[in-house]
Amino acid sequence: MSINLFDLTGKTALVTGGVHGLGMSMAKGLGHAGAKIVVNDRSSWEAVNNAVAEYKSVGIEAYGYIFDVTDEAAVIENIKKIEAEVGPIDILINNAGIIKRTPIIEMEVEDFAQVINVDLISPFIVSKTVAKGMIERGGGKIINICSMMSELGRQDVSAYAAAKGGLKMLTKNMATEWAKFNIQTNGIGPGYFATSQTAPIRVDGHPFNEFIISRTPANRWGDPEDLQGAAIFLSSKASDFVNGHILYVDGGILATIGKPSNE
């Protein structure tokens, strides 16, 4: 009997912050593979409703909720609501995140702490809450969205890099503790992607555009759909013995020290 290892039919996936951008692209991939999609935003029903409408317009069953992923009480309350109203959460993608671009010497402690709170502590809160149900039911999939900054430093993103480096190690520790419960915990580390946020710098002649193209062996920015295969793989039976890894979808950036300037 043939088995479709990548079929997510009947699964429910929570993608935090999946109301736009790369989170929405990954959620669409899971939805097209058969999963029901649940997304959240911290405060905007407009963003949630627009996202749900977008998912439904391409044939994906989707639901939206409002809650702050850094508020443990709100997370616990809304996970209960989601599992009562939509179904048990089989797949969690911790995608919600922020970045503040400030030199270390100029960065306020409050701003540094806010980035750590959203990008590192919230995956801890949401994962531990969802994992309790996964343990009771005998398994699940958790995907933490890491970054190139889980491995590399860059100017003016110290808090983000600290959080994403910590998230890489949190992923490994979640795998260490929860693999025995048939929970696979892994991460995805996106490279540099063509999104609405990067549009102003993805123009010929812009220094950062030239830097990314020259630094990436694939010689291009990533397309948001390039993340869908990784998300489906780590959400499906195909990854049932994959645990504690970060899958970098980066066009080869981490594989090289770069090209000579005269190439």
Catalytic center residues: 160
Is there a contact between 63 and 89 (Cβ–Cβ < 8 Å)? no
| DSSP H helices in the chain | 21-32, 45-57, 72-85, 109-116, 122-137, 158-178, 207-215, 228-235
| Rounded-to-integer distance, Cα 135 and Cα 70, Å | 22
**CA-based nearest residue to 29, from 126, 121, 95, 98:** 95
Quick check: helix, strand or coil at residue 249?
A: strand
In contact, 64 and 114? CB cutoff 8 Å: no
**How many whole angstroms separate alpha carbon 241 and alpha carbon 184?**
7
Contact of 34 with 8, CB cutoff 8 Å = yes
